[in-house]
Amino acid sequence: MTTNATSAGPLAHIKVLDLTIARAGPTCVRVLADHGAQVTQVLRPEQGGLDAAFPAFDRENLHRNKRSLALNLQTDAGRAVFYRMVKDADVVVENFRAAVKYRLKVDYETLKAINPRIVYGSNSGFGQDGPYGKRPGVDQIAQGLGGLMSITGPPGGGPWRVGIPISDLCAGMYLAHGIMAALIERERSGEGQWVQTSLLEAMIAMLDFQATRWLIGGEVAPQAGNDHPTAFPMGVFPAKDGMVSIAAAGDRMFLDFLKVIGAEELVKDERFATRAERGKHRPELRALVEEKTRTWAADDLIDALNAVGVPSGPILTIDKVFENPQVRHLKLAQEIESERYGKKLTLVRSPVRLSRTSTALRRAAPAPGADTDVILKEYGYTADEIAALKASGAAGVDPDTTRQVKGRSK
């Protein structure tokens, strides 16, 4: 399904200036852009390869639905252009190290003096101050420091990194939510404010009940592998032809699960009579249950369990995910035209849909700085002034970064 949507999203009236790089910051801006915000990416003229650490196609995922302006904020002329843009902007988002925004003179207090209504979003590794405030931060460091690696992986297996950059992604989403809350509050007060989060804060917030187990219960959660940390049977079980994910932790679901696999007699065993006892005797119960599940074909077991209300599903590789009938029905993979690639690209759409003003893939990611001339003209710069900005190094980008590129799209 091609979705070069022209309908406005709920944030279509919001202008966003995007100073972000890497992943956490762009994830925040992507949320705003998918909701229709008018996003202008601002990057240094020599920063055409700003995402060089990531595969080329990752830029298409992170920077869709925006335009790109090459501007050198280390120059007075470049900052003057940015300040002009700030006057009628609604949001500025950055994920520099804490001190960089001050060196560039694009910090919140400076921009607030230009536009008191500005909502300024900051994403950092560990917060804007404190003993770690000046440290560089990336996802894996936050996963370790935030406790996630200590509860991930098989029991006794040592620390395990989660397979996605979860602190980056969650920090970006939390920041987007905070920015939208600040925009709503501005409707009453007429004033903007500084919205902050960090990889560390997002990571610890995502610990959820595992953090509560310690803060209230004084219990340090161990690794539980593919099993639920406290409930059983809730995990991954073998079938004849693969592995199946099953969640039968409640008493009624447990009984229904046993009926399906032909082990109903286990419900009379005192070791398995309550949820707490099943947790204590997990190894014994697992051995008995697996003996039964191994006799089933995976698809048959999944269908039989779901038919009686016991949640169950397959363990899919990424390619199989996009072949799944429910994923296809939801149209999570959608196509968009890319001038830079000269063909259609397939991306994962926003997971949020609105009935009237929905999110959409409205525009493929621009080449770095590709919209520089058009944007400068919109802000009143003449052709001669644009040429002067480029000649001085205050604006413009290497033409090689805007050329059409080759990439794989399915």
One-letter amino acid for residue 139 of the chain: D
Within 8 A by CB and 6+ apart from 4, the residues are 336, 337, 361, 362, 363
User: 45 with 72: CB under 8 angstroms?
Assistant: yes
**Which secondary-structure segment (H or E) carries 390?**
helix 383-392
Q: Determine which one of 168, 227, 256, 371 is catalytic.
A: 168
Are 344 and 2 spatial neighbours (Cβ–Cβ below 8 Å)?
yes
Q: Which residues contact 368 (CB under 8 A, 6 or more apart)?
A: 41, 43, 47, 48, 49, 50, 68, 70, 397, 401, 402
Judge residue 23's burial from the number of C-beta atoms within 10 Å of its C-beta, 0-12 exposed, 13-18 middle, 19 or more buried. buried
SS (H, E, C) 33-92: HHCCCEEEEEECCCCCCCCCCCCCCHHHHHCCCEEEEEECCCCHHHHHHHHHHHCCCCEE
381 contacts 78 by C-beta, under 8 angstroms: no
Is 269 an annotated catalytic residue?
no
Hey, is 99 helix, strand or coil? coil
Question: Computed from CA positions of residues 60, 166, 31, 89, in that sequence, does the dihedral angle turn out positive or negative?
Answer: negative
Cis, bond preceding 233 (omega within 30 deg of 0): yes
Instruction: Determine the residue type at 105.
Output: K
DSSP symbol at 281: T
Distance CA 108, CA 114 (A): 10
Number of H helices, E strands in the chain: 17, 11
> Could you give the CA distance from residue 175 to residue 94 in angstroms, rounded to a whole number?
11
Active site residues: 168
